[in-house]
Amino acid sequence: MKSHPKHEVPDQARRDDWQKSLRQRSGRVTRSRQSILELLRRELRPYTPQDIAAALAPKRCDLATIYRTLTRFEQLGLVQRVDLGDGRSRFEISENQPGGHHHHHLVCRQCSKIVEIDDCIPAELESRVARQHGFLEVTHRLEFFGLCPKCQRGV
Amino acid sequence: MKSHPKHEVPDQARRDDWQKSLRQRSGRVTRSRQSILELLRRELRPYTPQDIAAALAPKRCDLATIYRTLTRFEQLGLVQRVDLGDGRSRFEISENQPGGHHHHHLVCRQCSKIVEIDDCIPAELESRVARQHGFLEVTHRLEFFGLCPKCQRGV
DNA sequence: GTGGATGCAAAGTGTTTGCATGGAC
DNA sequence: GTCCATGCAAACACTTTGCATCCAC
């Protein structure tokens, strides 16, 4: 788990960046969109749309809006979808965004605790897979599952 | 893609194996269960419950039954769930079953073509992740995504 | 003022569950 | 004959969509 300073005041340069690219594609900078992106920038872990709704509770943001916003942000490359295999989507700040970085997850099979993992597969493995089958633009998804220390002790 | 002989007559020893362990847990060997397991043993690729229903069409097996059967088979270790991130479950013969083996998948982002991949992450990576975070019984899920040769040519 | 964003409700999709009937043993 | 498995329909959870209203620009 990496610690990080919780800047309540987001960096102005970054802020302008996404607002600009959103406007360029005839999108509008609304309060909901700002709140959602700020949340994901501040809390560097995967959030389900429901998590986001709960976190923004006082602002009462509709789930449909959250879904639409996340889809838009995904297209803009601001956030990325994380799939931990439990049938619900999660989103976190994109790895190519300021503050984001390429990583994977280790999930407790029992309590669903999520730990960020910075290790990765050898780059050579991915390129070999791509080459051997003639695929292009190959990416990978790697997640680990196990029993966390707490659950081992039957807590 | 590995080729394999399509024995229309399943090996009798194997057959008895699962039937025995099913009966031991007060389960019954029914026609539906036999058909489903035979299908997954014959066709070594991930099947959605809907795929299975279609493949068994003449036998008209209810989806609810297929779901229940697959869940049961999963618990027995006969089949394993494959998650390719499109929000639907797939099942294939378990890697510890005769005929099965540990592998991953390469999926075309456009046409969803699935290629089996026998490469894997270094065992040392998995054990390191487990050790560093104190997790036990750690397994991994690794899937590749890319653009297949056909879709590259805009077919 | 215009066109995109939002809230709300309805519709979709994949999956699970309740219950009466059917079938394995 | 006893229970478990099945089919059918209803219920569920997550997600998407239609539409009138709202608001960023």
pLDDT in tens, chain B (155 residues): 444 544 444 555 555 689 999 999 999 999 999 999 999 999 999 999 999 999 999 899 999 999 999 999 999 999 999 999 899 999 999 999 988 999 999 999 999 999 999 999 999 999 999 999 999 999 999 999 999 999 999 87
CATH of the domain at A152: 3.30.1490.190
B59/B4 Cα distance (integer angstroms)? 26
What is the per-residue pLDDT across A61-105, written as a single tens digit (0 to 9) for each?
999 999 999 999 999 999 999 999 899 999 999 999 988 999 999
Report d(CA B132, CA B135) in Å as an integer.
8
Looking at B43-137, list the stretches that DSSP marks H as alpha helix, in order from N- to C-terminal side: 49-55, 63-75, 123-133
Domain range enclosing A122: 103-155
Find the residue closest to C7 using CA and C1' atoms. A62
- Write down the pTM of the prediction: 0.88
> Which tokens go with A25?
């594609």
DSSP code of residue A45:
S
Q: Which residues of A touch B144 (CB under 8 A)?
A: 126, 129-130, 135, 138-141
Looking at the fold, whether A44 and A76 belong to one and the same domain comes out as: yes
* Interchain proximity A149–B135, CB inside 8 Å: yes
- Cα angle value A37/B85/B151 (rounded, 5°): 105
How many interchain CB pairs under 8 A, A with B? 104
B127 and B63 in a common domain? no
Cross-chain CB nearest to B121 (options A83, A121, A137): A121
Q: Which two tokens stand for residue B64?
A: 């609810």
Q: Position of tokens 């993992």?
A: A117
Number of domains in chain A: 2
Query: Is there a single domain that holds both residue B118 and residue B138?
Result: yes
Residues B124 and B75 in one domain: no
Q: Using the structure, give the distance in angstroms from the CA atom of A73 to the C1' atom of D12, rounded to a whole number.
A: 29
Taking Cα atoms as reference points, which of B9, B6, B15 lies closest to residue B33? B15
Rounded-to-integer distance, Cα B101 and Cα A38, Å: 44
